A and B are shown apart, each in its own frame.
Chain A
C-alpha cells in the first residue's frame, strides 16, 4: 500500500510537471534534423580518415581534457576543504 501510494504520488507529480509544458508544442524542424546534420558532419570527417587519424587525435585531446578536468576538480575540492577551519583552512 505504501509503495502503491508512493507510485501514485510520483505519477501525479510527474504528470503535473509535464502538464506545465504547452501541450501543442512541436519541435522546430532544425532541431529534429540535428541528427541528420551531425551525421553529415561526422560523415564528412570520416571521409577524411585517411588524412587525419581521428582515433589518435580524439584520444590525445580527450585525455588532455580529462587530465585538466581532474586537476581542476582536485583543486576545487581542496579549496572547499580549506574553508573548514579544522581541516587545514584558515
Chain B
C-alpha cells in the first residue's frame, strides 16, 4: 500500500511541477497584459488587413463560427462581375440560402437556386457555403435556411471591399455581414477607425473559432465616436474611455456618386437617416443606390452626431472602381443600359427546328449537357445578348444541384480574378469537390457465350455483380440525404436549439485580461435619475501596468497559485490513491 501512496505523491509532484512551469510565464506576461486592450502587441491577436478574397485564408476560418463551411472565395467568369460574400458568423448554417429579393444594382448577373432573377445580381447557393451576391448598389434580403432573414444595403463602392452591416432576424448571438471581395487592394477610411480600441470588421482577420458576437456602431461615454466595433469574445474593453456602452444619436448620411454608362456624366445621390444606437447595436445605412444604367464611382458615409464632431466613416473617390467594370458596357452590350435585358448567364440548348431553348436558371433542364459528346454544337452560353464561350457556363457544370462559379473542376478554389474554369472534355468530367469514382469494371456481368458460362468464374462474377448492385449506393445519394436531413433539422426546434447552443462552444477563453470588470449603470437612468449626472458605467479592479492595483493583482495571483498548489497537494494523492485501491485511501 505504501508504494501506491508513494506513486501517488510522485504523480502529484509532477503535476505541481507542470503548474509551476505554466505559472512562470504567466507571471512574466504580467507586464504585457496591456496587449489585450490595444491592437499593437500580440501579433496573433492583431486584426489584419484581408489581402485576398477570404476573411481568414481557409475554409474553416473564412466563415467564422460557422459549422461545415467552405471558403467563400469567389471568382468570376466575367470581367464585369463585382462580388460580395455573405458570411454568417457566430452560428451554424448548413441550410440553403434562399435569395428572397435583390433590388437595384449594376453588374453581371447569375441566378442561383430560388433566386428571383432580378438584374444586377450574381448568386451562388451551396448547402455548405451560403450565398454570394454580386451587385453594385441595392438591397439584398436573404433567408438563411431556417435561421432567419438577413437584410443589408450595399453598393456604396464598386470594385472594392466593403463592409456593410445589415440587420439579422436570427436572434442575438448570430450576426451577418456582407463583404465585397473582388477588386484591387482596397482602401478604407481610417478616420472612424483610427482609435486603436475600435475593431474594424473590414480590416479584421480572425483566427478560427473566434466568436463575433455582434458588431455595430458603439458610442463611448463622453466621446461621440462611432465606429464599427466587434466584440471578439471577451476582449472589448475600452482603454481610452475605460468604458463600454452608452447611446449616441445622430444622422448617418450617404453621398453616392453615380456615373452614367451612356455619357459618363456623374451625379450625386444623397440620403440620411436619423437614428440612435445602443452599444453593440447596428447602424442602418440609408438606402441609397444608383439607377439602372449607372455605376457607383464613389461614396462617402458620414456620421453626424447630434452633439459632437462628425465622423467620416467611408470615403471613396472612385479610385477603387474596377477598370473592367467601366469597360463592361463595351464588353457586354445591352447588359448595362436602363432598358437593357437582364444580364443573366444563360445556358441554352439548340432546338431541333432551329433556335435555342433555355436550360433553366441553373442548368437544371440540361442535366447531361456537360457530358454530351456534341456539347460544343448543341449548346451555347451567353451573358444577356452577348454570346460568350461555353466555358463561361462552367458554373452550371453541376446542373440543378448548385452553381459553382468559383470552384475549379478539381475542386480547388479560385482567386477572385482567375479566369473562368474550363469545362472538361465530355466523358471525363469530374464534379468539383466530389470523390472520383473508380473506373467501372470493364468485364461484363454475363458471359459472352454459353460455352464460357461453364467457367466457374462466372458464378462468382454473377454474385459479385448482384452484391454491387444491391449494396453500392447511387451516386449523389449520400449528398442528397445529408442535405435534406440537415435542412429538415435546421428548421426544427432541435435544430434551432442546436444553432443557439453552438456559439456557446465557440466563445474564446481569454485569461490574461487586466481591464477589470465594467459595471453597467444605464439601468439606473430612470425616474428621478433620468437626468442625473453620473457615468453610464464604471470599471473596477483594473490592474494593467501603471494601474495602482497592479502590485496587488500580482500578489493575488501568487496567493492563488500557492493556494491551488496546496489544494492539489492535499486532494490529489487521496484521489489517485482511491483509483489504485478502488476503495479509498486507507489511513
Residues of chain A at the chain B interface (Cβ within 8 Å): 1-4, 7, 10-11, 14-15, 18, 21-22, 25-27, 29, 31-36, 38-39, 42-57, 59-60, 63-64, 67-68, 70-71, 74-75, 78
Contact = CB atoms under 8 A, between A and B. Distances in A.
Contacts of B582: 74-75, 78
A90 to B, nearest CB: 16
Given A3-B472, A21-B492, A60-B19, A49 B510 contact: yes
10 contacts: A7-B473, A7-B481, A32-B172, A46-B511, A49-B510, A53-B560, A56-B19, A56-B560, A59-B22, A71-B575
Contacts of B478: 7
Contact of B497 (A27, A35, A53): A27
Contacts, number: 193
B59 interface: no
Nearest to A55: B511
A11 to B, nearest CB: 6
B572 interface: yes
Interface residues of B, number: 77
A55 B515 CA distance: 17
Interface stretch (B233-241, B338-346, B367-375): B233-241
B90 interface: yes
A48 B541 CA distance: 7
A33 B171 contact: yes
A87 B345 CA distance: 74
A15 B575 contact: no
B556 interface: yes
B484 interface: yes
Nearest to B565: A60
The 4 closest A-B pairs by CB, nearest first: A43-B234, A32-B171, A35-B503, A35-B173
Interface string B1-40: 0000000000000010001001100100010010000000
Contact of A49 (B493, B494, B513): B513
A34 B513 contact: no
A26 to B, nearest CB: 7
Contacts of A22: 493
A10 B481 contact: yes
A3 B477 contact: yes
Contact of A63 (B493, B495, B511, B568): B568
B323 interface: no
B234 A67 contact: no
B195 to A, nearest CB: 19
A7 B213 contact: no
A11 B173 contact: no
A10 B513 CA distance: 49
Given A39-B231, A64-B567, A74-B579, A53 B26 contact: yes
A55 B511 CA distance: 7
Contact of B572 (A10, A36, A49, A67): A67
B15 to A, nearest CB: 7
A60 B16 CA distance: 9
A54 B509 CA distance: 10
Given A27-B496, A35-B90, A55-B22, A67 B576 contact: yes
A42 B509 contact: yes
B19 A15 contact: no
A56 B507 contact: no
B518 interface: yes
B51 interface: no
